[in-house]
A = this chain, B = another copy of it.
Amino acid sequence: MSNLIKRDLLLSFYSSANFFFTVSFFILILMLIPFAFGTQTEQLKVLFRGVVWIALALSIIITVDRIYNADYEDGNLDIIMQKNKTIEYLIISKYITHWFIYCLPLLVILPLLSFLFYLDYLETTQIFINLFIGSFGMVFIANFVSALTLGARRTIFLKAIIMIPLFVPFIIFGSDAGSWPILLALSMLSFVISIYVTAYGLRLYGE
């Protein structure tokens, strides 16, 4: 399990999906807000709360292909599945690395960004907590969608259309400051579902 995590982190580092890139990506996406909506301070604040979620969702949507697809196509998934016979460990490692590479950077620069968008300390903390909890749930969802669509026609749109509705509850409760307990419940629910469904999907495509 720790081997797989190490390997995935190294791989993403080598394929220049490194920390620096993801951070830049998030900054750029959030930078679009003032361009698209103007720059009234009060409005920026409101928008920021929403757009961090959209940025997170986007980062997960565009990287959903990386979770299993790349390894499936070049044959590495065979090796991975052979070496990790307890498929649940395999999946959990994938959760961890995917979260680490594509969600953590957002959390790391969140304080800086919320500065730029005039949020105060308390607000930032609330957003941070929500994002932290919610991002895990979204990663769980992305994982099982990725596993289920392994053999489907390679279409990120299809995956987006499957995922976005599943992300909606996270976005609704996520942009509401106090509702982290609900997010926690949602994340836990998606964990339970995801681990079964992902295992099912991987076994199917192993054939």
Please tell me if A155 contacts chain B, counting CB pairs below 8 Å.
Answer: yes
**Interface size band for A:** 35 or more
User: How far, in whole Å, are A21 and B158 apart by their CA atoms in the complex?
Assistant: 7
CB-based contact B161/A36 at 8 Å: no
Q: Which of B14, B61, B156, B172 contacts A35 (CB 8 A)?
A: B172
How many copies of this chain does the complex contain? 2
User: How far, in whole Å, are A16 and B149 apart by their CA atoms in the complex?
Assistant: 13
Please tell me if A153 contacts chain B, counting CB pairs below 8 Å.
Answer: yes
Please tell me if A28 contacts chain B, counting CB pairs below 8 Å.
Answer: yes
Kindly specify which of A48-56, A85-93, A178-186, A189-197 makes contact with the partner chain.
A48-56
Please tell me if A9 contacts chain B, counting CB pairs below 8 Å.
Answer: no
Please tell me if A1 contacts chain B, counting CB pairs below 8 Å.
Answer: no
A-side residues, CB < 8 A to B, are: 14-17, 21-22, 24-25, 28-29, 31-33, 35-38, 43, 46-47, 49-51, 53-54, 57-58, 61-63, 70, 153-158, 160-161, 164-165, 168, 171-172, 175
